[in-house]
Amino acid sequence: MSVAVKKIHDLIASPRNVAMFKREVLVCSRLHHPNIMIVCGAVMAEGSPLQIVMELLEGSVGEVIDAAHASGSYLTVYEQLFIAMDMASGISYLHQIRPLPYVHGDIRPSNVLVTRDMKVKVGDLGSAHIIESSLSAGPMSPSYVAPERSSTSSTLASDIYSFGVSLIEIFSGVGPIPEERQTQLALLAPRSHLFMLCSRLIRQKPADRMSAQRCFETLKAAVAENHSKLPSR
């Protein structure tokens, strides 16, 4: 396996960032799933920069979206569906860990990594925490934050909302603007199955949102229905 080394720079080595860095190592060391980033080890010796040794990946889904726009094209149906399905698979795994699920806390395209053949790995788990822990919500881009999270810690439901916003971005190619959430969702109306899926992920009431596992099953069925139209991967 080719590996990369992630270091925490001295300029950002605040107590909070160091704690987040160490938490990422701890969380990743407990997780084993094809759609979760693999951490091979870590170096946290006194006097040395904190380092995480992880599998080498090509970049983030956010970078893939930006590169597609820069080339004057966009992601194919094949790429969109498989990115979405792999994301749902990884998030579903976190949410179904027993006895206590993990909340990711910062789901967005820039925190989801891709391999050269476009397989997706959910990463940047420094904000992740066990669902019953007392940890407060970690830092997050406001564009992906669930409406209820301004006053509470991150939850499984807030993860789902952020995932739904990410899928709207992946399927539409338009970056999220909170004030235009419904307008951006409407861009998916011609693809009714995706419109309905994303609608169920970003509902205002947390209890009304679709689970990551159900989303994964829905996307897997969509891939199966389009199998004859999509190249094998």
Residues 6+ apart with CB under 8 A from 93: 31, 33, 35, 36
Identity of residue 220: K
Q: In what order do the strands lie in the sheet with 51-55?
A: 3-7, 51-55, 39-43
Yes or no: say if 197 and 218 are a contact pair by the CB < 8 Å rule: yes
Contact 83, 68 (CB under 8 A): no
Instruction: Indicate which residue of 10, 66, 86, 106 is catalytic.
Output: 106
CB within 8 A of 27, min separation 6: which ones? 102, 125, 126, 128
Is position 106 annotated as part of the catalytic site?
A: yes
Cβ contact 58:71 at 8 Å: no
Contact 89, 35 (CB under 8 A): yes
CA dihedral 221, 108, 102, 26 (to 10 degrees): 130
> How far is Cα 220 from Cα 27, in angstroms, rounded to an integer?
27
CA nearest 31: which of 88, 95, 83, 120?
95
Instruction: Choose among 92, 83, 67: nearest CA to 121.
Output: 83
Q: So which residues are the catalytic ones?
A: 106
